[in-house]
Amino acid sequence: MSTQTFTERVWRRLCGLGIDAFLNGAALAGRLSPRSWGVTHHVEVQRDLSYQATGKVEHRFDLYRPQRAQAPLPIVLYVHGGGFRILSKDTHYVMALAFARAGYLVLNINYRLAPRHRYPAALEDVAAAYAWTHANAAGLGGDPARLVVAGESAGANLALALAIACCYEHDEPVAREIFRQGRVPAAVWAGCGMLQVSNPGRFFPTAPRFFWERTEEIARTYLPAGDDLEQARDDLVDPLLYLERAGQPARPLPPVFASVGGNDPLQDDTLRLQRALAKLGGQVEARVYGREPHAFQAFVWRPEARRCWQDSFAFLQAVLTTTPR
């Protein structure tokens, strides 16, 4: 009898079928779904706006605006997951809707993906979207002083890296530009974060084989070409390692809400983040939810996912209530 879990068997089956093709199909289905327009959720959706004038789909975003809320609204810049190499804003409309229904103006963005575009391309795009949001917030009906950067999995990595670059001076060109702008997010929401890309071998042999094979694939396709996958890094590709080694920031780090499922092999990244931020004196709330899998926050019908969202909104409301405007 096979010792593989049901999840492992499904994942291997998808890999055999061509997982990129499967998930790209899921993205198209998400785009076509009436739910992605928010028609039953009192949310207005404007699709395929641009945060960079390149004409590329990678630089587009969807804007979710709650119809019954009064401007200026708190803002969420949402960065999708997918191992830095798959998925899009279209696959993650549920996450944008969750924030919009709670009263946030949401920019759900695309960004350039690996392996065609390796680090730091994705972070450069997130930084460009962040700058565009600040410059255009008032015209959109949003409050830039209450801007939350949010993401799950790879998106959590990028959201945290952006926040670090806002607060620490670093030699990387993308980090220098982010720091120069002088704007720190009001908060960071990091769901099931893949917060360290290097050293995928740390998951072997404790994680299921399909998982560490995927993390090795992510490292191989996202890290700069020719890099040693197991080599510890000093740049923002590994925001968790950066915080674990950093001294006090030049600007205070934003409050962070981090969530992860109890059955997610990435759980330790979230717990390490909690320890690193606490050591630096930062405000952090890290929660582990039951026996939930990776990216359980998207399964909004599950009781633990609903509890996670309730905790998220309570944390953000408390933070944003005290944010100077």
pLDDT tens readout for residues 124-145: 999 999 999 999 999 999 999 9
- Residue 237 to residue 157: CA distance in whole angstroms: 8
Q: Evaluate whether residue 60 is within a structural domain.
A: yes
Q: Evaluate whether residue 163 is within a structural domain.
A: yes
Give the mean model confidence (pLDDT) for residues 34-53: 78
Torsion of the alpha carbons at 260, 266, 267 and 270, rounded to the nearest 10: -80
Q: Evaluate whether residue 308 is within a structural domain.
A: yes
Q: Between vectors from CA 132 to CA 131 and to CA 133, what angle results, nearest 5°?
A: 90
Q: Evaluate whether residue 59 is within a structural domain.
A: yes
Q: What is the structure's pLDDT at 40?
A: 55
Q: What is the structure's pLDDT at 112?
A: 98
Q: Evaluate whether residue 90 is within a structural domain.
A: yes
Average pLDDT, the chain: 89
| Res 39 pLDDT > 80 | no
Q: What is the CATH number of the domain that holds 140?
A: 3.40.50.1820
Per-residue pLDDT reduced to its tens digit, 197-241: 999 999 887 888 889 899 999 999 999 988 889 887 889 999 999
Please list, in sequence order, all residues whose beta carbon lies within 8 angstroms of the beta carbon of residue 263, skipping any fewer than 6 positions away: 291, 292, 293
Sole residue written with tokens 């917030």: 137
- Residue 94 to residue 109: CA distance in whole angstroms: 13
Per-residue pLDDT reduced to its tens digit, 66-87: 998 888 999 999 999 999 999 9
pTM attached to this predicted model? 0.90
| Res 12 pLDDT > 60 | no
Q: Evaluate whether residue 1 is within a structural domain.
A: no
> What's the pLDDT band for 31 if we cut at 50, 70, 90?
low
What is the span of the domain harbouring residue 234? 6-321
| Res 170 pLDDT > 50 | yes
Counted domains in the chain: 1
Give the mean model confidence (pLDDT) for residues 90-115: 97
Per-residue pLDDT reduced to its tens digit, 248-258: 999 999 999 99
